[in-house]
Amino acid sequence: MLLAGLATTPIAEAQNGGAPPGWANFTRVLETYADSDRVVGTSALVMRDGKVLARHHYGFADKAAGKRVDDRSIFHWGSITKTLTAISIMQLRDRGKLSLDDKVTRWVPELRDIHDPYGMIDSITIRMLLSHSAGFQNGTWPYGNGEDWEPFEPTTWNQLVAMMPYQQLHFRPGSKYSYSNPGFIYLARIIEKITGDPWASYVQKNLLSPLGLDRSYFGTTPYYLAADRAHNYYVRRDSVTHRDSVSDNGADFDPGITIPNGGWNAPLDDLATYLAFLTNAPGGRLPRERYDVILRRASLEEMWHPVVETTSGYGSESDFMGLSFFGTRRNGVTYMGHTGSQAGFRAFMYFDPTKKTAVLVAFNTTMQRSTPGARAAQQALNEAALGLLK
């Protein structure tokens, strides 16, 4: 999860200290991973106290045009968008518009059409949606055979509702963690019902604008940013030749109804400003007083408290899910963050709220198969990234 700069007012670069220890090793690991996974383009940065200490770009934003990745390149951040939805819910909670223990069916009664073998659909709370512990499925669009006419994701709320009678709760609500994309569409529905704003309008007015993120957007790329938009790529294995081929998916794709759980597009500097806000950093673009206007510090920190333990993916001491933020504990230190993946784009961010450090990485390519050593390379990259936060 990484963030980068604005066109007119870039986030401050550190004047003293330069890159942190481990940066050279991290960039080597990043390039090694990119080469092994056939990544067309990637960008990364590391921050402390709201300032970017170092950046690294590798490869192409648009390979056919020969356009390399740079500070202005706009990536798609996938599920990192969920943190915007969660903060929006916390804003409404702080304003007395809802409680985290509200029953979700109060706001989204259509969910009663989902098959409920536990008889507990009315017990699901907003807190369970935020912590991925409600029992809903992972994928938003569980159907399809890869036909060209099939939507990439459901296109309207009515389409999602029409699928509900053919879905079911997968476990007793609140009993464990299981990642769910539809859960954040249900949260967006709550935001829309309470405020009267479409989700994207609410987030623009109450998060992006107050943070000054004027190159962030949802949906189709605005014409004036089109030159900076990175293309996204798939790497597939040919079943006949057994060789990998890279296909260019273009710059934009239609995320449909899934924008609240994966629709944020932005250059790294916009995310860097967001990370400065999350870490309450004094050196960011905005006065710290603005941070509390967006969301009280105590409410942000509440989002980082463990709600449910998760299965560790990379051998950490233990991992957990808070209120939409993932936590990982290493040697007595807790790091927060989130990952994102949609179409060919992938990204991850980690931050240490105590030390006010953060690292952000974005890729514009997804390998459609598991390759030998890919998991080890991914683990090495994650460990190198966490090492930058010490």
In the chain, what are the domains? 1-390 (3.40.710.10)
Per-residue model confidence (pLDDT) at position 18: 86
Q: Confidence class of residue 7 from pLDDT cuts 50, 70 and 90?
A: very low
| pLDDT more than 70, % of the chain | 92
Per-residue model confidence (pLDDT) at position 6: 25
Q: What is the DSSP letter of 208?
A: I
Per-residue model confidence (pLDDT) at position 17: 57
Task: Provide the 3-class DSSP secondary structure of residue 296.
Answer: coil
Which range is least confidently modeled, 139-148, 173-182, 340-349?
139-148
- Does residue 322 surpass a pLDDT of 50? yes
Average pLDDT over residues 269-282: 93
Residue range 44-77, pLDDT digits in tens: 999 999 999 999 999 999 999 999 999 999 999 9
Q: What is the DSSP letter of 115?
A: B
Q: What is the DSSP letter of 184?
A: H
- Does residue 302 surpass a pLDDT of 90? yes
Tokens of 361: 């990485």
Do 209 and 127 contact (CB within 8 A), yes or no?
A: no
Backbone angles phi, psi at 387, to 5 degrees: -65, -25
Do 373 and 33 contact (CB within 8 A), yes or no?
A: no
Task: Provide the 3-class DSSP secondary structure of residue 86.
Answer: helix
Q: Confidence class of residue 1 from pLDDT cuts 50, 70 and 90?
A: very low
Q: What is the pTM of this model?
A: 0.92
Do 258 and 153 contact (CB within 8 A), yes or no?
A: yes
Average pLDDT over residues 270-276: 96
Could you tell me which residues come within 8 angstroms of residue 29 by beta carbon, excluding any fewer than 6 positions away?
380, 381, 384
Q: Which residues pair with 357 in a beta bridge?
A: 48, 352
Q: Confidence class of residue 151 from pLDDT cuts 50, 70 and 90?
A: confident
Q: How many residues does the chain have?
A: 390
| DSSP code per residue over 316-376 | -SEEEE-SS-EEEEETTEEEEEEEEEETTEEEEEEEETTTTEEEEEEESEEESS--TTHHH
Residue 217: enclosing H or E segment and its boundaries? strand 217-218
Do 30 and 56 contact (CB within 8 A), yes or no?
A: yes
Mean pLDDT, the chain, whole residue set: 90
Average pLDDT over residues 296-305: 96
Q: How far does CA 202 lie from the centroid of its chain?
A: 18
- Does residue 9 surpass a pLDDT of 50? no
111, 82, 106: which is closest to 180 by C-alpha?
82
Can you tell me which residue has the tokens 């514009």? 364
Helices 182-195, 82-94: axis angle to 10 degrees equals 40
